[in-house]
Every structure is written in C-alpha cells, then in structure tokens.
C-alpha cells in the first residue's frame, strides 16, 4: 500500500476507480465530456499531490455542483462562480474546463523595497507576477506532501 492509500500492485482496481469516481453527480452516458474532464482533474490532482484528502475535497465539490444548470457537454463560459474551486493552489473551473493558477502579485507576495520596484519595468513586472503565480501553486503542492 502506498502512502496515498491507493495500492499500485493490486490486481483489483476498485480503490483507483473510486478515487476518480464522480457519480452520481455526473453521468458518463449523458455528459461524457464533462465526466471525463472531472475525472481527469481528480487524477491530475492525485498525481500532483499524492494526497487522497485533496482529491476527496475536490470530489466533494464536484458532487455538490449544480450540473443540470449547464447546457451541452463541452466547456461553458459565464458559470465560473458556481463551478470554480481552488485546491492545492490551482483554480479548477469545471464549467469552462480549465485549471489555472490564481494570479499572485510579486509586489504583494514578495514585498520588494521601493528601490527595487523602481528597477522593474512593465514587462518584468508581468513576468514576475506570472512566476510568483506558478511558485504559489507549487508551494501548495509541496505543502500537501508534508
């Protein structure tokens, strides 16, 4: 048994299947694309964190979402407020079917001095914000291991 609680050496894949099970919230017959995307997000979260608790929190979010309010089976815009959650430093938007890192400002997070800020032009500022956003997501993943 691995530290995640999911055995990789067992012929029975029931534990692995339960890890990414999104039923009854999503039905693979009526919404195959949404179901597959949600399962992929759960699997990605598990691979990233090796933490079944984080996967469970995300699966709980999926189970409570109001899926019937969405039409079609593909990505949908304008529904993020009811279908977005942040786990492990990443924002999962189940309506738009995207995973992104929340924007982090290097000024707020890094707290550079005024002398340092004077040296940063617009392009460098945008790049540093992006780097801090990635680092923020990575920090949450790192913390989930401990």
- Given a cut of 60, whether residue 145 has pLDDT beyond it is no
pLDDT tens for each residue of 102-128: 777 878 877 888 898 888 888 887 888
pLDDT tens for each residue of 15-64: 778 889 999 999 999 999 999 999 999 999 998 888 888 899 999 999 99
- Given a cut of 80, whether residue 12 has pLDDT beyond it is no
pLDDT tens for each residue of 74-108: 999 888 789 999 888 788 999 999 998 777 787 88
Which of 85, 131, 141 is closest to 105 using CA atoms? 131
The answer to whether 143 and 136 have CB atoms below 8 angstroms apart is no
Measured over the CA atoms of residue 116, residue 122, residue 127 and residue 133, the dihedral's sign is positive
The answer to whether 95 and 71 have CB atoms below 8 angstroms apart is no
């Amino acid at each position: 048994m691995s530290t995640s609680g999911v055995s990789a050496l067992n012929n029975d894949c029931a534990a692995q299947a339960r890890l990414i099970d999104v039923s009854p919230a999503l039905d693979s017959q009526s919404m195959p694309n949404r179901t597959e995307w949600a399962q992929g997000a759960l699997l990605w979260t598990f691979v990233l964190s090796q933490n079944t608790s984080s996967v469970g929190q995300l699966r709980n979010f999926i189970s409570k979402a109001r899926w019937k309010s969405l039409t079609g089976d593909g990505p949908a815009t304008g529904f993020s407020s009811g279908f977005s959650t942040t786990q492990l430093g990443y924002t999962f938007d189940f309506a738009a079917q995207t995973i992104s890192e929340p924007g982090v400002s290097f000024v707020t997070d890094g707290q550079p001095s005024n002398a340092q800020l004077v040296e940063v032009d617009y392009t460098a500022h945008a790049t540093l914000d992006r780097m801090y956003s990635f680092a923020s997501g990575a920090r949450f993943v790192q913390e989930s291991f401990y």
